């Protein structure tokens, strides 16, 4: 059947579209098979190996894919209505424009209609792993996505109306323009999630973690935010910030014996002037620093993970050994920034960490990025002219239209880099 299907796809003689309707293919080894457009309605594929399979446009209505291995599969425009994907491994799967809405499958047997397909006890995508997958413009209305791993998935424009995403991990996911109206996101992890222009009408966000989430153009007036964790704006910010910074200087000068380490975690410091300060080892993770001035500031060993630094000015800043993992630095100016490793008093070498950072259109002109960790970061349209990138870790980074003229990439790890042009 697979051979005839290949001939069908190639428009050759004796070809025929594959039909595995209501077949039991449990635990079958189907790695890399081409089943594009095939009919797998009600097919039992639990525990099957479909790694890297081509299922583009396939009909999987009511199919049982529980615990199936689908890593790297192509499933764009596939019909997955009513399918069960509970516990499936779907890391890096392409589900662009796939239909994952509710469905109820019936078939004719002995003259009677009967329910078929997946168990009702294991609906939808619950407990599935979809880390790094593409679900842009997918339809997931009324779908069950309970406690699912959706880290770093592309969900732009996806439709989640009435979907149950409770306790799901959406860390770093892109939900720009998605429709989450009346969806249940209670207890969900939305750390660093892009929610710009998303529809959140009557959305349940109770006890959800929204630290580092980008919420530009979002109306939260009808959303349930009871117990939700978000960045906060301090009352009398200027006076309280002045006191925090003064005590931090004392802490540094006394080698930790006096004063107190600056704790700016989870604070909204948008457009704050923090230039030319010594914020070495400061705690600034999850802080909102959009449009802030940090020019010439010392941020040695500071924790800026999942911080929002969009449009921030960091010209000449000292970022040696700082942690900026999953930080958003889109349109930020890091001209001549120092981000090379720092040697600790113990002799240990501590690198600057920018893994999974968003750095779209970031200016890194003449930046010292030697041995920096930039794995899986997005450097699309970044200005890296004359940057020092010797021995930098750029594995799986996105460098679409990045300008690397004059940059030194000697010894850099470029494995898996996307759209790299030297």
- Written in H, E and C, the secondary structure of 182-223 is CCECCCCECCCCECCCCECCCCECCCCECCCCECCCCCCCCC
- Per-residue model confidence as pLDDT tens digits over 43-82: 999 999 999 999 999 999 989 999 999 999 999 999 998 8
> What CA–CA distance (Å, rounded) separates 104 from 2?
28
Going by pLDDT thresholds of 50, 70 and 90, the confidence category of residue 103 is low
Q: Is the pLDDT of residue 32 over 70?
A: yes
Q: Name the 3-class secondary structure at 24.
A: strand
Q: Return the pLDDT at 405.
A: 96
Task: Report the chain's mean pLDDT, rounded to a whole number.
Answer: 91
The torsion angles phi and psi of 349, rounded to 5 degrees, stand at: -95, 125
**What's the mean pLDDT in 213-228?**
96
> What CA–CA distance (Å, rounded) separates 166 from 145?
7
Report percent pLDDT > 70 for the chain. Answer: 94
DSSP conformational letter for 214: B
Q: Return the pLDDT at 17.
A: 96
Is the model more confident about 421 or about 330? 330
**What's the mean pLDDT in 336-346?**
93
DSSP conformational letter for 234: P
Is the model more confident about 92 or about 106? 92
Q: Under a CB-based contact definition with an 8 Å cutoff, are residues 295 and 314 in contact?
A: yes
- Per-residue model confidence as pLDDT tens digits over 344-390: 888 899 999 999 999 999 999 999 999 999 999 999 999 999 999 99
* CA angle, 6 then 8 then 10, to 5°: 70
**What's the mean pLDDT in 271-281?**
96
Report percent pLDDT > 90 for the chain. Answer: 79
Residue 336: CB atoms within 10 Å: 17
CATH fold label, 233-422 = Pectate Lyase C-like (2.160.20)
Q: Return the pLDDT at 422.
A: 66
Residue 414: closest CA among 399, 406, 401: 399
> What CA–CA distance (Å, rounded) separates 103 from 142?
10
Can you point out the beta strands (E) in 65-128? 106-109, 112-115
Q: Return the pLDDT at 239.
A: 85
* CA angle, 369 then 132 then 330, to 5°: 40
Is the model more confident about 315 or about 87? 315
CA distances from 23 to 41, 78, 293 (A): 9, 18, 62
Q: Is the pLDDT of residue 179 over 80?
A: yes
Is the model more confident about 351 or about 125? 351
CA distances from 119 to 26, 27, 62, 100, 315 (A): 14, 17, 10, 16, 57
| Diameter of the chain measured on Cα atoms | 86
Q: Is the pLDDT of residue 159 over 60?
A: yes
DSSP conformational letter for 415: T
Is the model more confident about 210 or about 233? 210
Q: Return the pLDDT at 149.
A: 84
- Per-residue model confidence as pLDDT tens digits over 320-335: 999 999 999 999 999 9
Strand partners, 39: 19, 59
Q: Is the pLDDT of residue 417 over 90?
A: yes
CA distances from 48 to 6, 88, 308 (A): 20, 10, 41
Q: Return the pLDDT at 420.
A: 87
Q: Delimit the domains of the chain by residue range.
A: 233-422
Going by pLDDT thresholds of 50, 70 and 90, the confidence category of residue 101 is confident
Q: Return the pLDDT at 261.
A: 97
> What CA–CA distance (Å, rounded) separates 160 from 139?
7
CA distances from 209 to 82, 90, 124, 189, 229 (A): 29, 24, 23, 5, 5
CA distances from 235 to 239, 240, 289 (A): 9, 8, 17
> What CA–CA distance (Å, rounded) separates 258 from 156?
48
Q: Under a CB-based contact definition with an 8 Å cutoff, are residues 162 and 141 in contact?
A: yes
Is the model more confident about 133 or about 175? 175
- How far is residue 159 CA from its own chain's centroid? 17
Q: Return the pLDDT at 124.
A: 61
> What CA–CA distance (Å, rounded) separates 292 from 312?
5
Q: What dihedral angle (degrees, nearest 10) is formed by the CA atoms of 47, 53, 59, 61? A: 20
């Amino acid at each position: 059947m697979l051979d005839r299907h290949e001939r069908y796809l190639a428009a050759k003689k004796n070809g025929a579209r594959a039909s595995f309707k209501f077949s039991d293919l449990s635990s079958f080894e189907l790695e890399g098979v081409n089943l594009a457009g095939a009919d797998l309605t009600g097919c039992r594929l639990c525990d099957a190996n479909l790694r890297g399979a081509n299922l583009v446009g396939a009909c999987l209505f009511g199919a049982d894919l529980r615990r199936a291995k689908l890593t790297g599969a192509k499933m764009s425009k596939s019909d997955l209505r009513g399918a069960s994907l509970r516990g499936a491994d779907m890391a890096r799967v392409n589900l662009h424009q796939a239909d994952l809405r509710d469905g109820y499958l019936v078939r004719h047997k002995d003259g009677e209609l009967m329910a078929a397909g997946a168990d009702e006890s294991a609906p939808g995508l619950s407990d599935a792993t979809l880390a790094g997958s593409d679900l842009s413009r997918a339809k997931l209305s009324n779908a069950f996505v309970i406690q699912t791993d959706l880290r770093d998935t592309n969900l732009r424009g996806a439709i989640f109306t009435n979907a149950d995403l409770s306790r799901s991990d959406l860390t770093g996911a892109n939900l720009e323009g998605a429709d989450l109206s009346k969806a249940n996101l209670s207890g969900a992890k939305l750390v660093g999630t892009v929610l710009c222009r998303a529809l959140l009408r009557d959305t349940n966000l109770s006890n959800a973690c929204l630290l580092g989430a980008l919420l530009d153009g979002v109306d939260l007036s009808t959303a349930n935010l009871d117990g939700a964790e978000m960045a906060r704006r301090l009352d009398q910010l200027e006076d309280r910030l002045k006191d925090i910074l003064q005590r931090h200087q004392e802490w540094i000068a006394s080698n930790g014996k006096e004063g107190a380490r600056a704790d700016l975690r989870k604070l909204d410091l948008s457009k704050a002037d923090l230039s030319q300060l010594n914020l070495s080892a400061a705690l600034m993770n999850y802080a909102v620093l959009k449009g802030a001035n940090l020019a010439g500031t010392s941020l040695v060993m500071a924790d800026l993970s999942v911080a929002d630094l969009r449009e921030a000015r960091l010209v000449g800043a000292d970022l040696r050994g700082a942690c900026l993992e999953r930080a958003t630095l889109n349109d930020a100016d890091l001209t001549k920034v120092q981000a090379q490793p720092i040697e600790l008093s113990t002799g240990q070498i501590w690198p600057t960490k920018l893994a999974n950072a968003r750095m779209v259109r970031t200016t890194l002109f003449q930046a010292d990025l030697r041995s920096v960790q930039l794995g899986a970061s997005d450097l699309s349209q970044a200005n890296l002219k004359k940057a020092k990138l010797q021995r930098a870790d750029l594995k799986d980074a996105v460098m679409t239209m990045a300008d690397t003229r004059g940059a030194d990439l000697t010894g850099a790890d470029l494995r898996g880099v996307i759209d790299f042009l030297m």
